[in-house]
Amino acid sequence: MMGGGYGGGYGGYGMGPGMMGGGYGGYGMGPGMMGGGYGGYRLGAILNLTDAQQKKIQAIEDAQAKKQWGLMTTLHDEMLSAERNSGSDDVNVDAIMKGAKSIADTRLEMLRNRLETGKEIRAVLTKEQQQKLQQMRGWGWQ
């Protein structure tokens, strides 16, 4: 998420996939949140996650990473194609617009995946852990 909530930008990489450092396209909670995932040492310790919670969250993060990795490959291919199409002397406006829409659709699918992953992970947390996570967001731990 590129360090700033749900709208850090498309395609950015940082410390790890997910919040607080970029990731799969830049938005939302996901693997690598704050440099260690939900089950990672820092956040896991802060939220006092149980072993069972860490395992559930790791499984959610792994599934999300597999989906996002495939979509990132698709996105890179679409962007490369768009770059090649826009560089010719005979610009095909319709082809460029089609490519731009395809890129936008892939990015939106990645955003949806990240948002859904965040919901799945929050559902694993207790009410108290959810409140602590929300409080941390207020301190800039987005």
Instruction: Please report the DSSP string for 21-40 in residue order.
Output: S--SSS-SS-TTGGGS-TTS
pLDDT of residue 27: 43
Task: Tell me which DSSP letter residue 35 carries.
Answer: G
pLDDT of residue 126: 96
Which CATH number does the domain 33-138 belong to among 1.10.357, 1.20.120, 1.10.3210, 1.10.10? Answer: 1.20.120
**Beta-strand (E) ranges in 67-130?**
none
Quote the CA–CA distance of 136 and 142 in Å, as a whole number. 7
What percent of the chain has a predicted confidence (pLDDT) above 70? 68
Whether the predicted pLDDT of 2 surpasses 50: no
pLDDT of residue 117: 94
The two tokens of residue 23 are 């990731």
When mean pLDDT is compared over 38-42, 93-97, 113-117, the highest value belongs to 113-117
Strand, helix or coil for residue 1: coil
Closest among 36, 28, 22 to 110, alpha carbons compared = 28
How much is the average pLDDT of 14-30? 41
* pLDDT category of residue 57 using cuts at 50, 70 and 90: very high
Model-level pTM greater than 0.85?
A: no
pLDDT tens digits, one per residue of 59-76: 999 999 999 999 999 999
Q: Are 43 and 36 in contact (CB under 8 A)?
A: yes
pLDDT of residue 140: 59
pLDDT of residue 104: 96
